[in-house]
Amino acid sequence: MSESEQQQKSSTDKKQEYKQRYYNKEMTEIFESFEWPLYELFDRADGIMAKISTEASACQIPAEFRANFMRERVIDMFEQIAEQRMGKKDAM
């Protein structure tokens, strides 16, 4: 690789590093501004999930089955919510 090619690659690498640092800084600030309300929602959801697991345990459903079942259902809910949000965006 020639010297000019190395310099160009180095410049490109530095730009990428700068962009990544910038993206990380901005996303951290944005996320942290919503972190506490999100934490509270997840904490409430965790309580509901614990109740579901307790009731399923009383029906002698194994822990691994309960965990896998609930994980799949929660992922499905998140996907449905995202689809609804995107549908509302498209309707605007």
Are 51 and 42 contacting, i.e. CB atoms less than 8 angstroms apart?
no
35 and 77 both lie in a single domain: no
Say how far residue 70 (Cα) sits from the centre of its chain: 17
Q: Which amino acid is at 10?
A: S
| pTM for this entry | 0.69
What does the pLDDT read at residue 89? 75
What does the pLDDT read at residue 34? 97
80 and 40 both lie in a single domain: no
Say how far residue 52 (Cα) sits from the centre of its chain: 23
Are 53 and 66 contacting, i.e. CB atoms less than 8 angstroms apart?
yes
What does the pLDDT read at residue 65? 98
What does the pLDDT read at residue 90? 79
51 and 66 both lie in a single domain: no
Print the domain residue range for 19. 11-61
50 and 66 both lie in a single domain: no
4 falls within a domain: no
What does the pLDDT read at residue 3? 73
pLDDT < 50 positions in the chain: none
